[in-house]
Chain A
């Protein structure tokens, strides 16, 4: 099976969907001739033409407003927002339009739009190129929210998202575009070709939306994570030799509660991890869910490991980033609790 990095996998997903469905169009800043600043649409305009892969003005609100109208006219647009940090001008269109057209028209109109956007830190991007705003979107009813952790899932989930008749916000953790990252910036970079999930079928396949994956089975505690933090969690558990069950959520909304419940009821201990800030973050929802579903099985308080509640700081990136050390400490704390 061929190896792909996440960029190639996302490119392949879009290539396949442009080929399969004449109603699929891609629009975004620099996505056309140049192929995207991260190269995720490289070569697609050449292959499918300027009417299918469209360079857009620098106006995220305009891009999202326009793709809503396109989808109402029968297209299945994929909008790229160059950085998740730049998505806020389009937030009104997402939260009060895109997410609600089906509901407010009782299903007479619907908006099959996918919004792809690179997110997360660890790339020296400072506060305007490092944010993880997923919690702002999981809070909006009517949106599906996805964040894959590897090339295989990225491709299968993106194809599912494009085929889905509901709007999907598709977050791409850019730190792991080129290889898995275990949270240690001093180690040499590792390519996806060294990772089993870097094996990506060339053809069409889907990974279902709404299904988490147990990436490592374990007995002593459950770690709930997604995106880049899946790899950090694996490394941290190894570091403290914990028999951790690591769950890659993959889809944040709707959440796969069954997989979480099954795991935490077995292990009785849980650590919740994300890069985004902690207060009112997505981890609070996970913590509440575990409490509701597994309270009588819990043997220790649930720990949250998140970004500090500050803007993403450029010079202090590795102090901010919830790395192996902080995660390992949380794992030990949860395991030690009587």
Chain B
């Protein structure tokens, strides 16, 4: 019998109207996976790219060698920043629905990936975010008003009206600019880390992309350069299962994990429960120490779930079961850390509710302040000459002329 090849099209586990099916997600037990020394050779820990680093068990206890044993204060700070990220997202989503901002992207369900990582790194480490890592900004202490002003493109917008909402940056906070083109920041992070090594500094770079954008050529470029030059960089893949409507199988996740790509390049790789704050913290800490001590880069796959829409421009009920988030086997990162704190006697439902109320009020106050710097319909507005600034350090003749042309048009309209 001769057999012809047939085109394999990855089959999405569940579409609308079907039962959610996460049987493809391989899980390890909490505390089960070993934690090697940071100088371990890549070939001696390949299994860590297939297993899953987990600390919190079903009873919300922290188990095993990856437990970072954070103190009460650090755990509460982590919880606070994840909650603030979620409440900020909720507010901004609502503001988009009310037409106050043009666009928004939530990170709901993925808060641990950015908040725990930022907490595990040093303030001098450079972060190269993607568009669902607002938790990095919040964990590094960014004033929410700054983020809101960017979304409003108002007179205090850090981008001066040149970027869609959520494309933040923060030079003083060592957070690079979010790009709408995907994966481009991966080689930037590697180059930044190479420069740190060239200068003999012990700063580490970290970058984030989604699992879908590992298919971009820049992923391969970054992995090659990171491996070749042993750059002190942490390359994070947030595997939230979905790239807009396309399930992770279309990025090549059907047969091997995304972390498994690391050892192929000679890069250490960890596959981590991305909804386990303690696991993300511990994995990031391990990778940062490895990088800082000159043992090279680490690829970390954070297995998580995008509980919200991709952005305010899509409706997930059109492409996946409505109850899929409830069926996600790794739960919710905020709920899990909250229960852990309660189990450890460091927290209570009452304190949790009080914190939510406090943070919600804070978000409201910030929104009101942000609007005082201008909204889409009411001033103060940005000066339109900002359109021509910063294309170059000094404005060349042709842009000076174009700026004057726009001004003349404005004056005509005023008359």
Binding site for B on A (CB under 8 A): 25, 51-52, 57, 59, 61-62, 64-75, 89, 92-93, 96-97, 101-110, 141-142, 144, 165-166, 210, 254-255, 257-258
Contact = CB atoms under 8 A, between A and B. Distances in A.
B181 A101 contact: no
A25 B225 contact: no
B349 interface: no
A254 B163 contact: no
B205 A69 contact: yes
A65 B181 CA distance: 13
A258 B179 CA distance: 37
Q: Which 8 A-B pairs have the closest CB atoms?
A: A69-B191, A65-B187, A62-B221, A66-B191, A73-B195, A69-B188, A254-B396, A69-B192
Given A59-B225, A109-B177, A103 B191 contact: no
B393 A65 contact: no
A105 B177 contact: yes
7 contacts: A25-B198, A65-B184, A104-B177, A109-B176, A141-B391, A165-B393, A258-B397
B97 interface: no
Given A66-B190, A108-B171, A57 B228 contact: yes
Interface stretch (B35-43, B107-115, B154-162, B330-338): B154-162
Contact of A106 (B179, B221, B390): B390
Contacts of A109: 169, 171, 176-177
A69 B224 contact: no
B194 A102 contact: no
Interface residues of B, number: 46
A105 B169 contact: yes
A142 B391 contact: yes
Contact of B191 (A67, A102, A108, A141): A67
Interface of B: 126, 128, 158-160, 162-163, 167, 169, 171, 176-177, 179, 181, 184, 186-196, 198-199, 205, 217-218, 220-222, 224-225, 228, 386, 389-393, 396-398
Contacts of B217: 61, 89
A134 to B, nearest CB: 17
B392 A166 contact: yes
A61 B188 CA distance: 11
Contacts of A96: 179, 181, 184
A73 B228 CA distance: 19
Given A65-B225, A66-B191, A70-B192, 9 more contacts: A57-B225, A59-B221, A61-B187, A61-B221, A69-B188, A70-B195, A71-B191, A97-B184, A166-B393
Contacts of A144: 392
Nearest to A74: B195
B187 A93 contact: yes
Contact of A75 (B189, B198, B221, B391): B198
Contacts of B199: 73-75
Given A65-B187, A73-B195, A96-B181, A254 B224 contact: no
A254 B398 contact: yes
